[in-house]
Amino acid sequence: MYYHFKVHKESDGYWAECVELEGCFTQAANKKKLRENMAEALNSHLSEPVASDFIFPEPRENIRAAVEKIKVRPEVAFPILLKSMRLSDKKRQHDYQKALGFKNVFQYQRLEKIGANPNLKMISLVKEKFPGFKIEKVF
């Protein structure tokens, strides 16, 4: 999953703003450091606690402006995409917990927690039970 940043040149360096995520921006003295800062700003922004029913806007596919594509780390992308799918389906965590065969909802909640690191067996189970889950966006 990649988000897009528009880069601006100033007299003393650069700054960039994420096209899809309001309030996600950064700055740096040079382009190399700016690119590092964009990745950090993006992943930090997506990791911030938000309302339980909030869905981050997905990256846009067709952006015509000159932008930098910045990758979301998989441990950030997986829980965001899973939560987004569940909320779009108008389901509760309890519903997904049952569908995955977990004994309690806390097992499911760990999958929606930023930093989740599911193993291949769990990723396979999620994809099997929820075919609409776009695993390719995680990587």
CA 133, chain centre distance (Å):
13
**pTM for the whole structure:** 0.89
Angle between helices 93-100 and 120-129 (to 10 degrees): 110
Count how many domains the chain has. Answer: 2
Residues 114 and 98 in one domain: yes
How many other C-beta atoms can be found within 10 angstroms of the C-beta atom of residue 74?
15
Identify whether the C-beta of residue 116 lies closer than 8 Å to the C-beta of residue 78. Answer: yes
Residues 26 and 87 in one domain: no
Domain boundary among 16, 47, 71: 71
pLDDT tens per residue across all 139 residues of the chain: 999 999 999 999 999 999 999 999 999 999 999 999 999 999 999 998 777 788 899 898 888 778 999 999 999 999 999 999 999 999 999 999 999 999 999 999 999 999 989 999 999 999 999 999 999 999 9
Range of the domain at 61: 2-71
